Chain A
Amino acid sequence: MRIKILSFILASILLLLILGILNLNVFQGSKYRGLSKKNYVRLLPQIGARGRILDRNNNIIADNKLCYDVMILPRETSEADKVLMNISRILGRDFGELKDIFKKGYIAPFAPIAIAQNIDVAEAIALEELKFGLSGIVIQPRPVRRYPYGSLACHALGYLSEIDRWRLTKLEDYGYKTKDIVGFGGVEEKYDYYLRQEEGGLSVEVDHRGKLMSVLALRPPQSGKDIELTLDLKAQQIVEQNLVDRNGSVIIMDPYTGEIIAMASFPNFNPAVFVDKSKFSIGNLFDNSEAPFINRAITGVYPAGSVFKLIVAAAGLETGKINTVKTFLCPGSTKIGNMEFACWDTHGPQNLFAAITHSCNVFFYRSGLLIGAQAIHDYALKFGLSKPTGINLPYEASGFVPSPLWKRIYRFKNWFDGDTANLSIGQGDLLVTPIQMIRMTAVFANRGSLVTPYIIKAIDGQDISLAQQKSLNLHFNLSTIDYIRQAMRNAVQGLGGTAHVLSIPDVSVAGKTGTVQVPRGQPHAWFVGFFPYKKPRFVICVFLEHGGSGQASCLLAKQIIEIMVKEGLI
């Protein structure tokens, strides 16, 4: 009897054990398989490097360096205070401050807490050595942007920072995540998709101590693609060194292709401050009333001033409203309607050639009235004004060219002759960007084609200049272009020319100055030109915000051209 009960107990135990295994194995199997995997599989993220940005000769403008972050694994530290004390000693940071960071960053025992970022290699090595005595310290290398030339070409490059909400909603579908580092402004933003690296990972098998046993799978991180700019590092340096401390912009461009050789805007910023936010205060930069982040070359809109006279001249000759012998007398001012319109000097009798040379306002008031505001507007649009040039940089402004219709619709006012006169000398409601002006100048340099400026030469070694928009032939009479070209040359060469300071022996420059009267402060100073005159290789546009007369821009252009000659760039 009792033996039967024993047999029964034995069978029950067998059943119980089988059910126990069934429960663990089958009913909770997936849970335990997951736990087992979590035990032995570790995912080590591997971060690729962002694509580099190079100049046209493959000089590095922005590349990457490794920086080190210090993290603490709370699970593996029993004595967090001691660890923090040592870190504070090595990094020279306040212990209380580190402790605060540690406390605030604490999420869970297994989640590493970032204690310090961007520490030096020497500090990283010193901390690595600490690891032998103190557990729980993790030094994580991370590639960050390095700018060997500091703020050079900062506006063309843009900067890198953590993605903001607006960009995230826009880019979420392209695989961007919160906390991603993305480009802000410049090439970094426009070509972020190419530059950005793809995170890879290493799935490894580890033993109970976390020692690596074998590699299960590897997805190599994809480094971003390098981008080659059309910028010439040397020219860019020359331009920036001469523009420094003045507000304004200088652009140098190839007149035939539209390649931007140099593009500078001041005041500027050092994109490196975004790499290590702890060491610099960015707030100051954003609060700065001079707006250092604005790329004045493409985003700044200003009245064109006398530079616009080139368009009026072309319009006059092309429409036949004026010809090369048409002469107006400049007595220093002229009366249009009830208003007295002044010239900056008393030029006497002026034909178009002389008027461009001397930048005579009276001649252009009179011609403008002959041509008509609508025709001037139309020709301005032909020269690419009032819309973005299409340069491959973000946030380009379109500028504005007023017209009688616009004034009636939006201002509820009639267009008066005075408005035409103002437009003829590039004042009034007209707004242009420096990039539009250089593009307009290039039409004269290359004899009649409107180019599309661009700044990207190649992506990942692939030349993309062929993909650029072809230059557009404006179908002007060659005689028109040549006539204005000669006048521009004369403005430099001729004794009374407004840009006579640019008459330098080494290189023949042709150009046009502009002085924009502003309601307050010094006038803005323009200079657009091209050189060498016979076979132009460069177009230049110098713009100085409140820089004084056009003369100031001429002087700056002269400095730049002279150094370029000296450096053998021309």
Chain B
Amino acid sequence: MKSPFFLILIITLIIASIGILSIYSSTYQKEGKLWQVIYQRQIFWVILGLALFLIMSNFNYRRLWDLTFFLYALALFLLILVFVLGIIRLGAQRWLRLGWFNFQPSELTKLVMVIFLARYFSRQSVDSFSMLVNNSGISRSLILPFIFTAIPMVLIMEQPDLGSAATILFILIAMLYLCGVRLRYIIITLLVGILSLPILWHFLRDYQKERLTVFLNPNIDPLGAGYTIIQAKIAIGSGGLFGKGWLSGTQSQLHFLPESHTDFIFATFAEEWGFLGSVALLLLYYFLIRQGIAISQRTSDHFGKSLALGISVMLGIQIFINIAMNMGLAPVVGLPLPLMSYGGSSILVTFISLGILANIDKTRNVF
């Protein structure tokens, strides 16, 4: 029973359950029918996600190789569709209405980019061990992937969704590194990136600039942009060793903490479960990602290896940015905490990713 499949499944379910408990805790006191059913919806998403996980774990990941360009085109199409039909919420145009479900294409795009880059950097042949990029030039190993990544990234930044865009950028850098692109290329990329920061600054929206400056000093505007950071830090800090107890977190229950069921669910959780609970949660995430890396190491298939790494990195980056943002260690960019935050798109994409991961492991066993 100690198979990676079950480990992934169990850890995932535990984290998702913790997420549902925290969502319930942060919303049950809010007025309005909509708030009361949010945790039920999350349960629905988790069940649906579980189904997708099981489906994907039985869906041979190698078929994704063939689907890569279709998926990439689909993601771009959906991202463009967002600009045409997308609904505006919280000042951003990120969602597509699918019946009663608001779908967030940028979530899907992250996974698609992982698949795309994994395929790009691997060879089709199972026998070929050496990676192509090892010996290839700068345009093949750096410029082309950068352009392919930049297209959806720019679209996502324009929504605007800085968090997802940053995640994709980090995925690119990580994939470049992990797929064996020459280090100097990566360093060049990073240097260019850092040097272009002042230019990029001008392309940011006012609220994004505000968030970044406020991140450096939340007290600039304690009731405005810095409010969320301060309240999140208060929530985490006031939890103490054992926390205030489930349903007893004052910061989230009394709505001092905004977005307490989505982006700032970690603060909600930390307030009620304290230091020990938070560390336990971090360890769960850590083991989950370690499983992904372990699967990658055990897989001989080059595409599977890269894909497993990419999925692990994608989850890891999101978890890190989100938790760091909750603790005031990273700027506030709208980014959900995988498996915990309320939101169908994120939950489903995460479960699919984990399903793919499970399948990579399973397929390896078949070989």
Q: Are A208 and B256 in contact (CB under 8 A)?
A: yes
Q: Given the complex, which residues of A lie within 8 Å of B290, measured CB to CB?
A: 7, 10
- Interface positions, chain A 11-36, Cβ under 8 Å from B, are 11, 13-14, 16-18, 20-22, 24-26, 28-29, 31-33, 35-36
Q: Are B177 and A32 in contact (CB under 8 A)?
A: no
Q: With the chains together, A208 CA to B250 CA distance in Å?
A: 10
- Beta-carbon nearest neighbor of B244 in chain A: A36
Judged by a CB distance under 8 angstroms, whether A206 is at the interface is yes
Q: Are B238 and A29 in contact (CB under 8 A)?
A: yes
Q: Are B237 and A28 in contact (CB under 8 A)?
A: yes
Additional pairs, 17, CB under 8 Å, beyond known A3-B297, A36-B250, A209-B255:
A3-B296, A6-B174, A6-B313, A7-B290, A7-B293, A10-B293, A21-B270, A24-B237, A29-B237, A32-B237, A35-B234, A36-B237, A36-B251, A39-B234, A206-B254, A207-B254, A213-B254
- Interface positions, chain B 334-357, Cβ under 8 Å from A, are none
Q: Are A13 and B254 in contact (CB under 8 A)?
A: no
Q: With the chains together, A355 CA to B117 CA distance in Å?
A: 131
Judged by a CB distance under 8 angstroms, whether B282 is at the interface is yes
Judged by a CB distance under 8 angstroms, whether B289 is at the interface is yes
Q: Mark A27-69, 1 if CB is under 8 A from B, else 0.
A: 0110111011101100000000000000000000000000000
Q: With the chains together, A36 CA to B244 CA distance in Å?
A: 11
Interchain CB contact (< 8 A) of B286 among A10, A37, A40, A207: A10
Q: With the chains together, A245 CA to B177 CA distance in Å?
A: 103
Chain B interface main SS type = helix
A-B contact pairs, 9 of them (CB 8 A): A24-B233, A25-B274, A25-B278, A35-B234, A35-B237, A39-B254, A39-B256, A40-B250, A40-B254
Judged by a CB distance under 8 angstroms, whether B59 is at the interface is no
Q: Given the complex, which residues of A lie within 8 Å of B254, measured CB to CB?
A: 39-40, 205-208, 213
- Interface positions, chain B 260-277, Cβ under 8 Å from A, are 270, 274-275
Q: Are B278 and A21 in contact (CB under 8 A)?
A: yes
- Beta-carbon nearest neighbor of B267 in chain A: A24
Q: Given the complex, which residues of A lie within 8 Å of B180, measured CB to CB?
A: 2
Judged by a CB distance under 8 angstroms, whether B324 is at the interface is yes
Q: Are A14 and B237 in contact (CB under 8 A)?
A: no
Q: With the chains together, A10 CA to B317 CA distance in Å?
A: 10
Task: Count residues on chain B whose CB falls below 8 Å from chain A CBs.
Answer: 40
Q: With the chains together, A508 CA to B174 CA distance in Å?
A: 116
Q: Are B238 and A32 in contact (CB under 8 A)?
A: yes
Judged by a CB distance under 8 angstroms, whether B112 is at the interface is no
Q: Are A25 and B270 in contact (CB under 8 A)?
A: yes
Judged by a CB distance under 8 angstroms, whether B187 is at the interface is no
Q: With the chains together, A305 CA to B48 CA distance in Å?
A: 109
Q: Are B327 and A20 in contact (CB under 8 A)?
A: yes
Q: Mark B274-311, 1 if CB is under 8 A from A, else 0.
A: 11001100110010011001001100000000000100
Q: Mark B179-197, 1 if CB is under 8 A from A, else 0.
A: 0100000000000000000
Q: Given the complex, which residues of A lie within 8 Å of B133, measured CB to CB?
A: none
- Interface positions, chain A 142-176, Cβ under 8 Å from B, are none
Q: Are A17 and B309 in contact (CB under 8 A)?
A: no
Q: With the chains together, A208 CA to B228 CA distance in Å?
A: 12
- Beta-carbon nearest neighbor of B258 in chain A: A208
Q: With the chains together, A32 CA to B270 CA distance in Å?
A: 13
Q: Given the complex, which residues of B lie within 8 Å of A213, measured CB to CB?
A: 254
In the complex where A17-B320, A29-B238, A39-B250 touch, is A6 in contact with B293 (Cβ < 8 A)? Answer: yes
Q: Are A6 and B278 in contact (CB under 8 A)?
A: no
Q: Mark A200-213, 1 if CB is under 8 A from B, else 0.
A: 00000111110001
Q: With the chains together, A13 CA to B327 CA distance in Å?
A: 13
- Interface positions, chain B 141-175, Cβ under 8 Å from A, are 174
Q: Given the complex, which residues of B lie within 8 Å of A20, measured CB to CB?
A: 324, 327, 329
Q: Given the complex, which residues of A lie within 8 Å of B296, measured CB to CB?
A: 3
Q: Are A25 and B236 in contact (CB under 8 A)?
A: yes
Q: Are A14 and B286 in contact (CB under 8 A)?
A: yes
Q: Given the complex, which residues of A lie within 8 Å of B316, measured CB to CB?
A: 10, 13
Q: With the chains together, A40 CA to B244 CA distance in Å?
A: 14
Tell me how far the C-beta of B359 lies from the nearest C-beta in chain A, rounded to whole angstroms: 20
Judged by a CB distance under 8 angstroms, whether B241 is at the interface is yes
Tell me how far the C-beta of B118 lies from the nearest C-beta in chain A, rounded to whole angstroms: 14
Q: With the chains together, A192 CA to B255 CA distance in Å?
A: 45
Q: With the chains together, A39 CA to B257 CA distance in Å?
A: 11
Judged by a CB distance under 8 angstroms, whether B16 is at the interface is no
Q: Are B238 and A36 in contact (CB under 8 A)?
A: yes
Q: With the chains together, A28 CA to B327 CA distance in Å?
A: 12
Judged by a CB distance under 8 angstroms, whether B239 is at the interface is yes
Q: Are A22 and B275 in contact (CB under 8 A)?
A: yes
Tell me how far the C-beta of B298 lies from the nearest C-beta in chain A, rounded to whole angstroms: 11
Q: Given the complex, which residues of B lie within 8 Å of A6, measured CB to CB?
A: 174, 178, 293, 309, 313
Judged by a CB distance under 8 angstroms, whether B20 is at the interface is no
- Beta-carbon nearest neighbor of B243 in chain A: A25
Judged by a CB distance under 8 angstroms, whether B78 is at the interface is no
- Interface positions, chain A 311-332, Cβ under 8 Å from B, are none
Q: Given the complex, which residues of A lie within 8 Å of B329, measured CB to CB?
A: 16, 20
Q: Are A17 and B178 in contact (CB under 8 A)?
A: no
Q: With the chains together, A14 CA to B255 CA distance in Å?
A: 29
Q: Given the complex, which residues of A lie within 8 Å of B256, measured CB to CB?
A: 39-40, 207-208
Judged by a CB distance under 8 angstroms, whether B235 is at the interface is yes
Q: Given the complex, which residues of A lie within 8 Å of B241, measured CB to CB?
A: 25-26
Judged by a CB distance under 8 angstroms, whether B4 is at the interface is no
Q: Are A21 and B275 in contact (CB under 8 A)?
A: yes
Judged by a CB distance under 8 angstroms, whether B323 is at the interface is yes
Q: With the chains together, A21 CA to B240 CA distance in Å?
A: 10
Q: Given the complex, which residues of A lie within 8 Å of B239, measured CB to CB?
A: 25, 29
Q: Are A3 and B275 in contact (CB under 8 A)?
A: no
- Interface positions, chain A 508-558, Cβ under 8 Å from B, are none
Q: Given the complex, which residues of A lie within 8 Å of B237, measured CB to CB?
A: 24-25, 28-29, 31-33, 35-36
Tell me how far the C-beta of B323 lies from the nearest C-beta in chain A, rounded to whole angstroms: 5
Tell me how far the C-beta of A189 lies from the nearest C-beta in chain B, rounded to whole angstroms: 46
Q: With the chains together, A213 CA to B236 CA distance in Å?
A: 22
Q: With the chains together, A461 CA to B199 CA distance in Å?
A: 82
- Beta-carbon nearest neighbor of A11 in chain B: B286
Q: Given the complex, which residues of B lie within 8 Å of A31, measured CB to CB?
A: 237
Interchain CB contact (< 8 A) of B250 among A7, A18, A29, A205: A205
Tell me how far the C-beta of A268 lies from the nearest C-beta in chain B, rounded to whole angstroms: 54
Q: Are B235 and A25 in contact (CB under 8 A)?
A: no
Q: Are B282 and A14 in contact (CB under 8 A)?
A: yes
Q: With the chains together, A451 CA to B174 CA distance in Å?
A: 102
- Beta-carbon nearest neighbor of B257 in chain A: A208
Q: Mark A210-231, 1 if CB is under 8 A from B, else 0.
A: 0001000000000000000000
Tell me how far the C-beta of A217 lies from the nearest C-beta in chain B, rounded to whole angstroms: 15
Q: With the chains together, A16 CA to B293 CA distance in Å?
A: 20
Tell me how far the C-beta of A11 lies from the nearest C-beta in chain B, rounded to whole angstroms: 8
Q: Given the complex, which residues of B lie within 8 Å of A2, measured CB to CB?
A: 177-178, 180
Q: Given the complex, which residues of A lie within 8 Å of B286, measured CB to CB?
A: 10-11, 14
Q: Given the complex, which residues of A lie within 8 Å of B289, measured CB to CB?
A: 10
List the 3 closest A-B pairs by CB distance, nearest first.
Answer: A32-B237, A36-B238, A24-B237
Q: With the chains together, A208 CA to B313 CA distance in Å?
A: 37
Interchain CB contact (< 8 A) of B236 among A13, A32, A206: A32
Q: With the chains together, A324 CA to B146 CA distance in Å?
A: 134
Q: With the chains together, A208 CA to B241 CA distance in Å?
A: 25
Q: Mark B196-232, 1 if CB is under 8 A from A, else 0.
A: 0000000000000000000000000000000000010
- Beta-carbon nearest neighbor of B316 in chain A: A10
